[in-house]
Amino acid sequence: MVESKTRQIGSTTVVELTGRLLLGNSLGYAENAIKRLIDTGTLKLVLDLTSLDHIDSSGLGMLIFCSGRMEQAGGRMRIAGATPAVARVFAVAHADRILQIDPDLETSCRNLADQSAAEA
């Protein structure tokens, strides 16, 4: 089961995912929460995976889908703080070719700020 908490750091929305991002109802709830943020105008989003213990292919697919949806909405999404178990899944799937992955939350927020400044 995955739980999510949302907070603001400046103009960046941070969603902290905790637990296990696996096929099932909680994956759908997490996806809907993220889609709702995007649909209501969030343009800078970081998914903080520091407390995520495990992810399966369904969870990875959801992250990729949300990243694409964010790009279509004109925003940017980054992934922060993948644990070793989650990072292994990302490496096997070559997720770094699709997702913007950073080692920690601070780096993700800084990279989003840098991207915004470069686009201005």
Burial of 44 (0-12, 13-18, 19+ CB in 10 A): buried
Q: Given the structure tokens 């949300």, which residue do they identify? A: 66
Mean pLDDT (the chain, rounded): 95
Domain 2-107 in CATH 3.30.750.24? The answer is yes
Supply the DSSP string of 15-66, one letter for each residue.
EEEEEEE-SSHHHHHHHHHHHHHHHTT--EEEEEEEEEEEE-HHHHHHHHHH
Give the per-residue pLDDT at 65.
97
The pLDDT of residue 114 is 86
Taking residues 96-110, report their average pLDDT: 97
The predicted model gives 105-120 an average pLDDT of 86
Sketch the domain layout of the chain as residue ranges. 2-107
In this prediction, residues 84-107 reach a mean pLDDT of 97
Average pLDDT over residues 86-113: 96
- The dihedrals phi and psi of 74, each to the nearest 5 degrees, come to 90, 15
Q: Model's pTM, two decimal places?
A: 0.94
Cβ atoms of residues 67 and 36 within 8 Å: no
Q: Is the dihedral of CA 105, 67, 101, 32 positive or negative?
A: positive
**So what's the pLDDT on residue 120?**
61
Q: Does 118 have pLDDT greater than 80?
A: no
